[in-house]
Chains A and B, each alone.
Chain A
Amino acid sequence: MANVLVVAELLEGKARKTTLCAVTAAKQIAEGTGGSFDILSIGEGAGAAAEELAGYGAGKVLKAEIAGGYTCEKYAATVAEAGKGYDVLVACASAYGKDLLPRVAAKLGAGVASDISEVHTDGGKLSYTRPMYAGNMFGTVEILTDKQVVTVRQSEFEPAASSGGASPSEDVAVQTDPAADKVEFLGVEVVKSERPDLGDADVVVSGGRALKSADNFTNVIEPLVDALGAAMGASRAACDAGYVAPELQVGQTGKVVAPKLYIAIGISGAIQHLAGMKGSKTIVAINKDKEAPIAQVADYFLVADLFDTVPALTEAVKKL
């Protein structure tokens, strides 16, 4: 029987979707072992977010209000203390989860299964499958310590749907940590976009080095992105060149996406890029070079110059 604590991820006082993916994994663990799950709402606006999170069937929602910008040093002691009463701690393997949970795990002496794609509860015994080697190998791992810490890959766990009801909430005490005094949060440049989040969009349109400039992203890629109601992504080469912001990177070091439709434009399909998108349902490549490695995963391949074809594609999509 495993009792599970989900560590919520808040952005500007609201739970990110990533939290609901972690809830889905927590439910699988709890149901498969006959346990239950609670949620910890932590950060600035934790109280309001706790109300929102009360509708997902958790036994209770714990809340810890911590003002100011996030650093893992500021949160980890509180999460670890709250986590003492649980067998498994779960968060999404977002930048936040990957930053915070290992620190919590080290405090609790717990092993970490990070970025898992599957939960197994055979005979009540937990193990987890996780992609390794940039998605070229899947390992199934068991955690040997008393407590387990798990981060889950967003694209592999559907966000939990609201189940109505209202979990009771409970305040937990905020713990201090001397390491927190060594880090001062100066600010964050949050990129605001009306577009869907890359992590959970149904359609993703990504551009690569072939775009050659930020202007071409704006003039060639963005109209197609918006015609499809898609999220925009990019290869590392495009992010490194400054054509788009780094958080749009798809791949081993960027985001992992698995939309219904992924369109790779002027992207060669390096192994590290494939790591971030080859789970997509339908993959389209638009590339001048029909030998480009993206062909290994593409369902449809248009061999063409992107500058000639993408504007025409945008117009055709608008007419549908």
Chain B
Amino acid sequence: MTPTKTRAAIAGVYEHPTRFAPDKSEWLLMAEACRGAIQDAGLRPEQIDAFFTSATAPEGGWLGACASVMAADYLNIHPRFIDETDVGGASFGYYVNRAVMGIEAGLFKCALIAYGATTKSLGVNVGTVRYDDLTGQRISPMPDAFEQVYGTTVTSFMGLLTQRYMHDYGLTSEQLAHVAVTMREHAALNPDAAHRKPLTVEDVLSSPVIASPLHKFDCCIISDGAAALLVVHRDLLPECAKPPVWLAGFGESIMHHEGGLGDWAAESREMVRRACRQAFDMAGVGPADIDTAMIYDAFTVNVVIDLEGAGFCGVGDGGAFVADGQLKLDGGSLPTNPDGGGLSSNHPGRRGIFLFVEATRQLRGEADGRQVPGAETAMCTATGAAFLARRGSAAHILTR
């Protein structure tokens, strides 16, 4: 089926090619990405009337409280609407949602969504330190005191989830390894990707365990990076340089601990399902209508859970789906993350924005060397975290 469209479309995108930029600031990387996106759209900076960005501190830079005002000052733009909703790496999906809502409500017409971080240059061990060590703060009474005292890291939280998902649904480490291998195959086709050397299932399984059962290659890489998007009202499209990529549907959902009574493993999938159902219903399409997917692969297990939550396969079938090669550009039924994803291309702390850049390139037919032939409709799913089970998902249907 053909998706119904909102009045909002992506008119410009830019992904900074750098993966390591010790001589630049996160601010400058973001500005260069904004310049790239406005040039890609064929618009002018003074047309920007809404601005969305994410704090990067402490995991990828210095941009902290009041991030959107601080960054607007640096960029010298004058948006009448700002937002910096924080859902970790999924934040950028939430910004797209808020941009579409604001455009539909008539509040603004040209929304800039931007991000830059120098996580690698700063040497931040995002996934392998305690949160109090990452932030330099003490362990807050609620709720960190009940969790961080055990020496938890981001990777350990995901290890707990993965272990339970394996227990409940029969997922295996070998199946997860196929996600990492496929992302690396795709990265080999992307000249900007950070890691392009071929990887085997055996390589993944024999790599060091970071937090069991997650191996090194189950975890996203750490890079510097930046990107920007322009989401515009359809009234502006005649001025734009390139054909639009329409926002057809979007959804979002959060999960948490349910007062200590929740099933963290099942709820991780059901949260994605709620977000995806909203997006599918709004666009009037289903999983079978999606030509290519961008799935936030912070860890290999995220891909499996999102596939099951979105309905690309049944509950408990995600492991077999990825091991069967369904994510591959070469012959898969759902070519996923053709750019190599966070597992191989880039991951500067919060990766959600890059999903939209690659989806736009794919739907425009600009993804040289890794183009999904004839891609007309794409899906983006992202899950971001506050810590432990406090997380949020965003889902989007894009169409040309």
- The answer to whether A and B come from one shared complex is no
